[in-house]
Amino acid sequence: MSMKIGIACDHGGFPLKEEIKQAIIALGHECTDFGAPSLDPADDYPDYVIPMSKSVASAALDRGIALCGSGVGASIAANKVKGVRAAVIFEPFSARQGVEDDDMNVMCLGARVIGPAYALELVKLFLNAKYTGEERHARRLAKVLKEESSCDD
């Protein structure tokens, strides 16, 4: 099933973003690039990750991939957007399980801590995974969403 995928990065993730973008397209998905548009050491990940995350939260995109040097900053920025469930992913189990059990919709990668081939493997797992909606997972997600809604007060 073809999906609409957003991708965003800062300078730390720029080279890897370009490779992942091509892989997303090769897998048959649409890819919207939120930037960074070029390798600029003075850029800031929130400028690109937050707009991409808002598009995921609004359902304009099905999922998003955010990159920075470690993945941590991108994850922090993405999780500030209501409706986003982002995590830094370093290994295959979590790339798949994060979607299946927790309905993760943004995967964050540390471009300076994982190699391109491994990152592409994680992207494939993330994009092929489906949320199961099992009762225990839905119950847990409902609690998270309730807490997220209470932050509006």
What amino acid positions are annotated as catalytic residues? 68
13-26 burial: b if 16+ Cβ within 10 Å, else e? bbebbeebbebbee
List, as own/partner pairs, every contact residues 44-48 make where C-beta atoms lie below 8 angstroms and the sequence separation is at least 24, other chains included: 44/10, 45/8, 45/9, 45/10, 45/12, 45/13, 45/73, 45/74, 45/77, 46/77, 47/10, 48/8, 48/9, 48/10
Q: What is the b/e burial string over 120-129, where b = at least 16 CB atoms within 10 angstroms of the residue's CB?
A: bbbbbbbbeb
φ and ψ at 4, to 5 degrees?
Answer: -100, 115
